[in-house]
Amino acid sequence: MDMLRFAGSLVLVLCLLGGLLWALKRMQTGIRPGGGVRQLQVIEAVSVGPRQKIALVRVGSREVLVGVSPTQLTALGSWPAALGDDSEITDVA
């Protein structure tokens, strides 16, 4: 009987963990709970050293290439974001 109770508890904990991971992943899709789209998104990050990364970040309608180290962030380049056909570019300046 103890083994059955242990197995049931284990299955319950694994299901709860899976549900929590699913919810966390769903929250990171870029949609805010208020209904708007996030203005800041990390598109991709690549490690170039033990403590250094290069990240491509979308900020509104711009993409910025950023160098990241433990002590600083450095903008390496910036350009208009590649938007889909159904989006239009607006000037935020």
Same domain, 50 and 77: yes
The residue that leads in pLDDT, 85 or 93, is 85
The model's confidence at residue 91, banded by pLDDT at 50, 70 and 90, is very low
The CA distance from 14 to 78, in Å, is: 44
Same domain, 50 and 26: no
Range of the domain at 62: 39-93
47-83 confidence digits (pLDDT tens): 998 999 999 998 888 899 999 999 998 999 888 877 6
**Predicted pLDDT at 37:** 66
- HSE-up of residue 49 (Cα within 13 Å, Cβ side): 7
Same domain, 89 and 54: yes
Give mean pLDDT, residues 17-29. Answer: 83
Same domain, 19 and 43: no
Q: What is the pTM of this model?
A: 0.50
